[in-house]
Structure 1
Amino acid sequence: MRAISREPLEKERRRIGRKVRELRERRLLTQSELARRLSMSQARLSQVEAGRSSLTAEQFLVVLRTFNVSVSAFAAPTKATAELQATLARLGASQLQEDVDVLPSERLEKATDAIRETLIEPESPRLVTALAPVIVHNIDRINWPKLGHELRALGLGRRLRWLVENVLEAVRSEASALGLPLELRRAYRRAEAILGTVHEFTEEEGRGRPLPDVLDRGIRTRRTREEVSATASAISQRHRIVTSIQPADFAEALRGARVGDR
């Protein structure tokens, strides 16, 4: 009799664990704070987030209520999302490489197209912040005028300006990291120099105070929007982008890509 493979269950457990960690960090909760809400130890929650342990049904319901998300938030990514993730991994966000069976999208072969697609349909904060290493690795190949024009035509020009400012802050902080290889330090400095010159291509057209632009797909109620807006970064507030993503998340993505490249 053929043994039943545990790989599918382990894969699901890892994906759920990553999502729990992502939701917790977006809400700025520590592991100990969430562990108390789930009536478990911090060590056990750490195992859950690492994909080495599972939540009970009751604990899973508490997670849904705590972060105001539906079960679909934990569903496996669609084929299009999986292909986008594989594309971003190929373009420099190596920390996203999880399923070797998923091929990058041929339609999004260039970094410019992948960035545009991610900003138009931001499937998750993890994919959005992964644009930081993608931009660094492809800084000389990104067509900023085209990208700015296409997003402005869709009324999403502010998202590009928001992205540029976040990545610029992230590369500035990471460029001085201890132990950073010289080649990567130079790449960060070059990205910093170029990002500082793309303002004219990322400015939003029009006058007056724009309406808030909700970036996070998990924001579905007015209460959640108000909670997220209250903790928004200065960059998000300046461009009226409603998101829980912080500049530090882009810096974390840069660090994650460095680990993934080893």
Structure 2
Amino acid sequence: MGKKRLNFWDAEYFIERKERITNLEFSKEFIDIASKKLERNFKSKTGIKSRGNVIIELPSAFFKDKFSYSSGDVSKIQWALILYDYFYPVEINWSSKSGRIYVPSDIDIEESDIIFWFEDLDAIKVHEILYPTIQNPLKLDSLHFDLNIKSMNQNLIIDIEPNIVGDLILLNIENMVIRVFQKWNEKALKDSNDKLGLGLIHSWSFHKENNLEIRVDMGSADVTVLKKLLLELDTLDTIKAINIE
């Protein structure tokens, strides 16, 4: 019987077996910190808590040609998540608050300094794999408008269709979106040690015709901010439908 892996990214299991994919050196300290922070980032972006059904894993040897690593202000590894038995390619990124460039073999890592995240993790795809019978990954019921979610990753387009076309109606919706996003970022900035794990929304912009289109770079923000936004918008009686992709 194989060793049971309890961590999101199991250092002992990984280090013992990584040679079939890469000769890049990894320290246990690096993986243990990455495991904690990436598990939090995964939950932040998908709303899903890993219970052993999601792990960072060594895929089969054919993946060797797809593996890549680059070091810099933002360092990157092309790697994989295993969602049950499904192989899901991901890009693991990390940087630091201090500007120090960490490499995977480092052992003297300041945990509060280093930041890990998954780049362009599609929450909708993850939900389809893990919970194929659940239609709404945001777990919101009884909204008065139609909600259609096609994809949910770092860069989103939120298209809001009003019941009645009008500049004041669109402006009212836009102001509510701004309030929700600004309040979220203000709270995240006050949480200097990241105890709440809120994350910052990097940017948002608006385009108005008959609908209100919002382009959002979610940055490191928790998916919960989308729930908060939708619940706030549900208090308005001027919205017919919202599409997210």
Fold shared by both chains (TM-score > 0.5): no
Q: TM-score, normalised by structure 2?
A: 0.27
Q: TM-score, normalised by structure 1?
A: 0.26
Please identify which structure carries the higher helix content.
1
Rg comparison, structure with higher value: 2
